[in-house]
Amino acid sequence: MTGGNSSVGVAIVGIACRFPGAADHSAFWRNLCEGVESISELSDQDLLSAGVPGELLRNPSYVKAASLLPDIDQFDAAFFEYSPEEARLMDPQQRLLLEVAWETFEDAGEPAGRSAKPIGVFTGVGGVVSSYLVDRLPFSAELPGTTGNLTHLGNDKDFPSTRISYKLNLTGPSINVQTACSTSLVAVHLACQAILAGECDMALAGAATVRVPQRVGYRHPVARRPLPCLRCRCAGDNLRQRCRCGPAQGACRSRRRWQSHLRGH
């Protein structure tokens, strides 16, 4: 990104991500270049085990496919100084976004939390409150509670950015971004604007989405017959065959372009 003055701009100095079939940005780029599909077809047994009713499986509009992100139940709670109980109650989106934020600093070759200058955080997560919380509510009496308890802090969309700022000791602006499907793009825009305005020396921008449970299909809103394929389609290529969005999380770390040159990035 550059401003009116060509000598002023923003450079990406670190990046990290998790996608279905890609544990990092190198694998994700390789999948894109090689045309690797990351949508998994689900068997009837998979779906029945996940609690999908047999009647729904026989519905011709039900698409038996999903984008699966591995290890959403894995988290190094001790590393980030969380108790096992708090980590268990926390939305996987927030857990994974915190891990990806740390990995972004590693990719940039700089330790997290040791900068003397302010580093901003601009992130967002998906869900209503979060699909993880909604999914668990019928099975656990411990989750409903008052505002401000561990369950609320770990699952509400208002807290991922400030959680990252606190855990990684980042002292710049910390703003949660929610603009539906454009959240990550708007987060990057706001991060660049904050850097150019001098609000922070660097900024972390990104977003996360994880749907729980993962191994389920979905009812296609317009289908009246079995779908011939399970692939995503671009705007002009038979919209009746499109798939829903899958899980992903990613973050990038940016700073002024001239500063990145001085530091060898």
Q: What is the pLDDT of residue 242?
A: 45
Strand partners for 17: 250
Domains, the chain: 10-262 (3.40.47.10)
Torsion angle defined by CA atoms of residues 65, 68, 73 and 75, in that order, rounded to the nearest 10 degrees: -170
- Note the pTM of the prediction, 2 decimals: 0.82
- Residue range 92-115, pLDDT digits in tens: 999 999 999 999 999 999 898 888
pLDDT exceeds cutoff 90 at 121 = yes
- Quick one: pLDDT band at residue 72, thresholds 50, 70, 90? very high
Residue 118 has pLDDT above 80, yes or no: yes
Higher-pLDDT residue of 132 and 91 is 91
Sorting pLDDT into bands at 50, 70 and 90, what band is 139?
low
Tell me: the pLDDT tens digits for 208-218?
999 888 999 98
Measured CA angle at 57 (ends 52, 60), to 5 deg: 145
